[in-house]
Amino acid sequence: MTTAAQKDRQAPWRGWLVGTALGVALIAGLVAVTSKVCYPRPKPPPKESNRVVHPSGFSIITPEDWDHQIGTAGKPIKAEFPAAKHRNDNILIFPKSKVKLCQHLIVQKVDSASEMKQEEQVVAKPDWLRLPSSRVQEKQCGKYFVWSASMSGETDNGPHYTLDLWLPNAPPGGHDCVPEYWRPFINTFRVEPVQAK
């Protein structure tokens, strides 16, 4: 039979265990909420109704509940992402949440092969990539890891297209670093002839 004195000695341990369990649950909940808010992820599958078409004829499907901007040489993108510094024709895809360090994707048209990136490390084309890519590259850019696929035009004089996926705090890892949830969206890129008006 447990005496009152024994119960008093057990009470602090019970309180400590309950407090620890509540603390762990609270931290786990905060991590889950923070990761969802700070690092939103696109949710496959891509829906054709979310396809964004650039006036110059290329297009890509944006994830549900994500935002995008279309930039042209005369009207550059105004979003505050490293990828938005491009001045070519482009489409930038980014989460609606206002987070500075987040995944984002930019597709851009470049006039010739000479404008395509040369400073990045060329890696093997992954099996999942269905685009007619001439090369896949990667590089570290500040707090971002950038994975790029470059698509050649019909001639060396262009047009050519680059697709850059910016991943925060991701270690270099070739095609293995591209999260599976991005792959179906990347494969929706296409180019169609622009109809003359």
8 or 123: which leads in pLDDT = 123
pTM over the 0.85 mark: no
Sorted by sequence, the CB contacts under 8 Å of residue 72 that are 6+ apart come out as 55, 56, 89
Sorted by sequence, the CB contacts under 8 Å of residue 167 that are 6+ apart come out as 103, 144, 145, 146, 147, 177, 179
Residue of 116, 118, 129, 114 lying closest to 174 (CA atoms): 129
152 and 136 Cβ atoms separated by less than 8 Å: no
123 or 45: which leads in pLDDT = 45
Beta bridge partners of 122: 137
**Digit-coded pLDDT (tens) for 144-183:** 888 888 887 655 556 788 899 988 876 655 546 788 999 9
In the sheet where 190-191 sits, what is the strand order?
51-53, 58-61, 190-191
Q: What CATH number matches the domain at 48-191, 2.60.40, 1.10.3470, 2.60.120, 1.10.10?
A: 2.60.120
Ranges of beta strands (E only) in 124-191 are 133-141, 144-151, 160-168, 190-191
In Å, how far from its chain's centre is CA 153? 24
pLDDT at 2: 56
Q: Is the pLDDT of residue 64 over 70?
A: yes
Please give the mean pLDDT across all residues of the chain. 75
